[in-house]
Amino acid sequence: MATTDLAPHAPVITQRFLGALTLALDLHRLQLRKGTTIPYASHLLAVTALVLEHGGSEDQAIAAALHDAVEDQGGQPTLDRIWSQFGPDVARLVESLTDADTTPKPPWRERKERYVARLATAPEEALLVDLACKVHNARTIVRDLKREGAKAWERTGGGREGSRWYYRALLEAMQARTSGALVDEFAGLVREIESD
């Protein structure tokens, strides 16, 4: 079982990472967090920071910055661009973190069920990136529930019940494959989501 606890040494950060941040910010520059005026870049930067704070490699940090690029900004051509610019390892991570690469996307529940099932065989390196993404999303849900109450559920794809199911299923899938401080934080956030 992998652990998401801090690594004993810092990853080497190169110009590739700067290139990934530039591409991510360019691809998502007009995108907002659903139902808000918050730039989507805030999510990408938060996920990338969590990956680095929890011992991720440069490839994992690059994948974190680009984890929604294929899904939200161009599908297969965007994945091909990531492959070309950042190599097959990063492209493989981003692909494993993508729940749909077509427009229109399949129905929400169908996509999420497939995504949760894929976590059982996802590359180990993808787990930290995915966990960082889900922790940031769960933090946002918990914060919004405290500020706005039930209205916050309107911004989630699955509403209250669907989101509760999804985050519990994600947590169980993660706990089956990894452990550590980030998993523990995610478990606490899921409990807060379920208690609303």
**What span, in angstroms and rounded, lies between the C-alpha atoms of 134 and 64?**
12
Please write the tens of the pLDDT for every residue from 39-61.
999 999 999 999 999 999 999 99
Backbone angles phi, psi at 39, to 5 degrees: -60, 135
Please write the tens of the pLDDT for every residue from 182-194.
999 999 999 999 9
Q: What is the DSSP-derived secondary structure letter of residue 102?
A: S
**How much is the mean pLDDT over the chain?**
93
State the pLDDT at residue 104: 87
State the pLDDT at residue 193: 96
State the pLDDT at residue 101: 84
Contact call for residues 60 and 145 (beta carbons, < 8 A): no
Contact call for residues 12 and 61 (beta carbons, < 8 A): no
Q: Give the confidence band of 108 by pLDDT, cuts at 50, 70, 90.
A: very high
Q: Which residues pair with 2 in a beta bridge?
A: 178
Please write the tens of the pLDDT for every residue from 123-173.
999 999 999 999 999 999 999 999 999 999 999 889 999 999 999 999 999
Q: Give the dihedral of Cα atoms 187, 189, 191, 193; nearest 10 deg.
A: -140
Distance between alpha carbon 157 and the CA centroid of its chain, in Å? Answer: 15
The residue ranking higher by pLDDT, 7 or 154, is 154
Which domains does the chain carry?
2-195 (1.10.3210.10)
**Is the pTM of the predicted complex or chain greater than 0.75?**
yes
Q: Give the confidence band of 181 by pLDDT, cuts at 50, 70, 90.
A: very high
Query: Does 1 have pLDDT greater than 70?
Result: no
